[in-house]
Amino acid sequence: MLDIELIRSDPEFVRTALLKRIDDVDLNPILEADALRRKLATEVDGARSERNRQAKEIGKLKASGADIAEVQKQAAALGDQVTAMQAALTEAEKTLSDLLMGLPNLPDERSPAGGKEANQVVRTWGKQPDLGDKPLDHVELCTRLGLIDYARGVELGGNGYWIYTGQGAALEWALLDFFNREHYAAGYQFMLPPHLLTEESGYAAGQFPKFHDDVFHLREEEGGRKSFLLPTSETAIVNVYRDEILPADMLPVKAFAYSPCYRREAGSYRSEERGSIRGHQPPAARHRRAEPAARRHRHHPRTPPPLARHRHPAPPALTRTRRHLSRSVRSKEALGVAVDVGRPFVMGLATVRSG
């Protein structure tokens, strides 16, 4: 959530920054809601002070034996007024919070305007492999090589699910192990978070309310705490230290986690894209680093160095899978898989600055 003080003090700066991410930005409803909330808060504080003054006066009148009937009547009326004013203040605070929740985070000043179609290639390295005139897509490759069983995955879970089989399952597990080893060697703390998160976690991660309908929510008994299946382990990582103030000597906090990504993909956004990201349970390893802003760009430079080959021997399962795939791609039908897996796991390397 953006700081209301920043919006209040420099709305034009916030508006200009947000226009990089969304087409239209109207901060007037937020400023109006903020003004109303502050006005009501001042009135509530004043009414409470008056109620406290009246309570003290009633106490003195009682002690002196004076008639307090009229004063008590006035105090009761003021109490009802405070209750109504507090209800109005609570509603104003909720309205302001809902409006602020609808705003995305401010993008980095270096980010280009627009969505992923506006991404800029900052640097490329490596040689683009020649895949021939008609390269096969990942679905056909995985099916022909017996790496994934899409049909039986649909029978088990419905549309959007698949089964990794044989060397496909071994490769999936080996890749996850590779990513985990790399992060662990780089000093990141490995976490295996709960797959069931509270509703607050979705808002704290900045994913709700925008993606509220794209996750699986659990039906709770009336009065129970709302919860959902995590759509990515990133949602859990950023909440580990939620509502805590970390001492400076604890920074940077570096953590990574693995989990399936449970997603309904209820909307049509980018529905034309084809791949595991459109599924309901793709696996993913995520990492996050928390540190002072002044040090951030030292670890996330404008042009990062080329991706180095992994520093550790490949896990046995990965080695066996590589050999299996290398033999398989001698047929033109499977052209491209060995390159995808062996250099290392990418078809060409590029640094992309994303909006």
* CATH no. for 4-101: 1.10.287.40
On whether the CB atoms of residues 266 and 278 are closer than 8 A, the answer is no
- In sequence order, what DSSP letters do the residues of 162-190 get, joined into one string? -EE-THHHHHHHHHHHHHHHHHHHTTPEE
On whether the CB atoms of residues 58 and 71 are closer than 8 A, the answer is yes
Q: How confident is the model over 312-321, as pLDDT tens digits?
A: 444 444 444 4
If we measure between CA atoms, which residue out of 248, 287, 249, 284 comes closest to residue 263?
A: 284
CATH superfamily placement of domain 184-300: Bira Bifunctional Protein; Domain 2 (3.30.930.10)
On whether the CB atoms of residues 186 and 308 are closer than 8 A, the answer is no
What's the rounded Cα separation, in Å, for the pair 163 and 147?
9
- In sequence order, what DSSP letters do the residues of 234-256 get, joined into one string? HHHHTTTTTT----GGGPSEEEE
| Alpha carbon of residue 172 to chain centroid | 24
pLDDT at residue 352, rounded to an integer: 39
Task: Return the structure tokens found at 281.
Answer: 């349970």
pLDDT at residue 267, rounded to an integer: 47
Element (H, E) at 207: none
Predicted TM-score (pTM) above 0.75: no
pLDDT at residue 298, rounded to an integer: 54
What's the rounded Cα separation, in Å, for the pair 87 and 47?
13
On whether the CB atoms of residues 255 and 286 are closer than 8 A, the answer is no
Residue showing tokens 């066996």: 320
230 Cβ partners below 8 Å, 6+ apart?
A: 193, 194, 195, 196, 197, 201, 215, 236, 259, 261, 262
Domain residue spans in the chain? 4-101, 108-135+303-355, 184-300
Task: For residue 191, report the phi and psi dihedrals to the nearest 5 degrees.
Answer: -130, 140
Fold identical between 4-101 and 184-300? no
Q: How confident is the model over 262-305, as pLDDT tens digits?
A: 998 654 455 455 566 568 888 888 888 887 766 655 554 443 33
Task: For residue 150, report the phi and psi dihedrals to the nearest 5 degrees.
Answer: -75, -40
On whether the CB atoms of residues 335 and 329 are closer than 8 A, the answer is yes
Listed as ranges, residues in the chain with pLDDT below 70 are 265-278, 293-355
CA atoms in the 13 A half-sphere facing the CB of 265: 20
What is the maximum alpha-carbon separation in the chain?
105
Element (H, E) at 139: helix 138-144
Q: Are strands 196-198 and 227-229 parallel, antiparallel or unpaired?
A: antiparallel
Q: Is the dihedral of CA 162, 167, 171, 177 positive or negative?
A: positive
